[in-house]
Amino acid sequence: MDDIKTIINDTVNSTVLKMKMAGLLKDNRKTAMEKLEELLRNYPIFKEITDQEYTVKLVGKVNKALEKISDDPYYDVIKLFYFENKSREFIALEYGCTETTISRNKTRLLNEIKPMLFSDDVIYELFL
């Protein structure tokens, strides 16, 4: 009976590992993108907090990352979407383009700043 349990356990563990490596199973961790989007949504509130050392440091890091993309023609998409809660439709009208163009460029810009703020998570996602 113990031999059967061992075989079953080894088979299940091997299968789960293969599924994780193939990206078929997701753990409960938030992805770097999910964390970044949550951070950006809360950024206006964080900027107002000046008496918490960690928050002040985090705001500085976000400022530095945003500064790196500030010359991009679609930079304001980040501000409008995350800081002012504007819809893709509204932003597309402002830019005179499609919502798809807004989404594509928003994702592109997020992918540029994601490694600056969540490098450990990006590396984890690349290799696991």
32 contacts: CB under 8 Å, gap ≥ 6: 114, 118, 121, 122, 125
Predicted pLDDT at 113: 97
What is the reported pTM?
0.75
Helix, strand or coil, per DSSP, at residue 112? helix
Residue 15 has pLDDT above 90, yes or no: no
- 76-103 pLDDT tens trace: 999 999 999 999 999 999 999 999 999 9
Q: How far is CA 112 from CA 47, 73, 84, in A?
A: 21, 14, 21
- 22-49 pLDDT tens trace: 767 666 778 899 999 999 999 999 999 9
Sequence-ordered strand ranges (E) for the chain: none
Mean pLDDT of the 7-19 span: 83
Ramachandran angles phi, psi of 20, nearest 5°: -65, -45
How far is it between the farthest Cα atoms of the chain? 69
